[in-house]
């Protein structure tokens, strides 16, 4: 059994969640060098153990009760840390930061928090750890400016793509779902997050009704029915599918990926689009603006501006060779900087430094 044990804390682990996929990749790659434990609020999430033999999962209470029962949760997590001799507590949600900090004081376990979302509330109690990992400089700068976090306490470790996982989850058997003669745009992600701007995409589509295009929405969430209802009155071919385990099969069959986010730290969808060499249109915000060089590796649009998005979609449609070149340039960037072989060693080094400091 590996001597170094790390406990990951998060409210849920889900297929459509980019953070969950990052945790999955990190734990699978470092499995054997560390013993990993997962805690989630509910049994269904905690049961998603990524199929790793050296990984245990735990659940205690449904999240709707956790504020009331937080003293019991503190005791439950403390018991896990003591029994399994946890050396690092890695929190991925602000709710657990305070609990992890208290347990760290009691047991001496190291405490690190990852930040993959941009938030603005509870400034007094948030992000007090001296060990913080952010997924982009955009998030680091937000913590420093809004929460007055010491920049020396923050390390940027970017999200990444694992080629072996891409190949493993690809079946390549779905060519028939989209009209082959129409230029296809696609959105991958949650339908219940207003920051992802589903509403902006639908408004942009109305401005392109006379174009021979199709739109694929692949994900899950509360807006699914509104998208389907919109499609019934639209002249554009719109396909709506729930999150799939073989999500990587869908990138090769689309022509351009849309992610016109209002706020986005450093989305995996962006990296996945680049990995497959697809033209990418993203919101000029956060980690998207940090990575995309407008006109060279993709197109940036004003967040919330449907007219700007429609114009970018029309540009890609009418300048396909230029769009393909942008996709190829984007692919070069991803494969040279944002693969598992580049990022996983950064996590390993971070954990080792934390233990030796």
> Tell me, what CATH number does 264's domain have?
3.40.50.2000
Q: What is the pLDDT of residues 287-332, one digit of tens each?
A: 999 999 999 999 999 999 999 999 999 999 999 999 999 999 999 9
Whether residue 18 is predicted with pLDDT greater than 80 in this model: the reply is no
Q: State how far the Cα of 357 lies from the Cα of 355, in Å rounded to an integer.
A: 6
Whether residue 174 is predicted with pLDDT greater than 90 in this model: the reply is no
Whether residue 147 is predicted with pLDDT greater than 70 in this model: the reply is yes
- The reply to whether 281 and 314 lie within a common domain is yes
Q: What is the mean pLDDT of the chain?
A: 88
Average pLDDT in the 228-251 region? 88
Find the domain containing 170 and state its range. 164-337
Of the pLDDT bands very low, low, confident and very high (cuts 50, 70, 90), residue 192 is confident
Distance of CA 102 to the CA centre of its chain: 28
- The reply to whether 279 and 152 lie within a common domain is no
- The reply to whether 195 and 231 lie within a common domain is yes
Give the tokens for residue 141.
Answer: 């700068």
H/E stretch holding 289 reads helix 286-291
Q: How far is CA 10 from CA 38, 40, 175, 197, in A?
A: 8, 5, 36, 25
- The reply to whether 128 and 254 lie within a common domain is no
- The reply to whether 101 and 26 lie within a common domain is yes
Give the pLDDT of residue 168: 72
Q: State how far the Cα of 134 lies from the Cα of 22, in Å rounded to an integer.
A: 12
Q: 44: which residues sit within 8 A by CB, 6+ positions away?
A: none
Torsions phi, psi of 191, nearest 5?
-90, -5
- The reply to whether 124 and 183 lie within a common domain is no
- The reply to whether 110 and 175 lie within a common domain is no
- The reply to whether 272 and 329 lie within a common domain is yes
Q: Taking the CA atoms of the chain, what radius of gyration do you get in angstroms?
A: 21
- The reply to whether 232 and 264 lie within a common domain is yes
SS3 53: coil
Average pLDDT in the 45-50 region? 54
- The reply to whether 12 and 137 lie within a common domain is yes
Instruction: Give pTM, 2 decimals.
Output: 0.90
- The reply to whether 263 and 350 lie within a common domain is no
- The reply to whether 24 and 76 lie within a common domain is yes
Number of domains in the chain: 2
Give the tokens for residue 311.
Answer: 């114009």
Give the pLDDT of residue 12: 78
Whether residue 262 is predicted with pLDDT greater than 80 in this model: the reply is yes
Helix pair 224-233, 198-206: axis angle to 10 deg = 0
Give the pLDDT of residue 52: 58
Q: State how far the Cα of 71 lies from the Cα of 78, in Å rounded to an integer.
A: 11
């Amino acid at each position: 059994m590996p001597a170094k044990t790390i406990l990951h804390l998060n409210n849920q682990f889900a297929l459509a969640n980019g953070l969950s996929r990052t945790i999955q990749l990190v734990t699978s790659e470092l499995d054997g060098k560390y013993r990993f434990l997962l805690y989630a609020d509910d049994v269904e999430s905690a049961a998603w153990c990524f199929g790793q033999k050296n990984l245990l999962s735990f659940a205690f209470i449904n999240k709707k009760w956790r504020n009331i029962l937080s003293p019991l949760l503190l005791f439950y997590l403390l018991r896990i840390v003591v029994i399994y001799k946890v050396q690092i507590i890695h929190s991925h949600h602000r709710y657990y930061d305070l609990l992890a900090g208290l347990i760290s004081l009691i047991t001496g376990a190291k405490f690190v928090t990852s930040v993959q979302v941009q938030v603005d509330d509870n400034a007094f109690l948030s992000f007090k750890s001296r060990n913080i990992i952010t997924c982009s400089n955009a998030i680091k700068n937000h913590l420093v400016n809004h929460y007055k976090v010491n920049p020396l306490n923050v390390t940027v470790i970017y999200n990444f793509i694992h080629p072996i996982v891409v190949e493993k989850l690809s079946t390549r058997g779905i060519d028939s779902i989209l009209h082959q003669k129409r230029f296809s745009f696609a959105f991958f992600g949650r339908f219940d997050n207003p920051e992802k701007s589903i509403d902006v995409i639908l408004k942009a589509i109305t401005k392109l009704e006379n174009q021979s295009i199709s739109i694929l929405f692949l994900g899950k969430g509360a807006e699914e029915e509104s998208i389907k209802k919109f499609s019934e009155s639209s002249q554009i071919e719109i396909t709506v599918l729930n999150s799939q385990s073989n999500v990587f099969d869908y990138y090769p069959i689309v022509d351009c990926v849309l992610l016109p986010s209002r706020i986005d730290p450093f989305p995996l969808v962006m990296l996945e689009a680049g990995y497959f060499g697809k033209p990418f249109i993203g919101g000029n915000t956060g980690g998207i603006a940090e990575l995309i060089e407008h006109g060279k590796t993709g197109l940036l649009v004003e967040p919330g501006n449907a007219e700007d998005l429609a114009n970018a979609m029309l540009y890609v449609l009418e300048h396909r060779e230029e769009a393909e070149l942008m996709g190829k340039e984007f692919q070069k960037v991803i494969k040279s900087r944002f693969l598992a072989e580049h990022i996983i060693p950064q996590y390993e080094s971070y954990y080792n430094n934390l233990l030796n400091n």
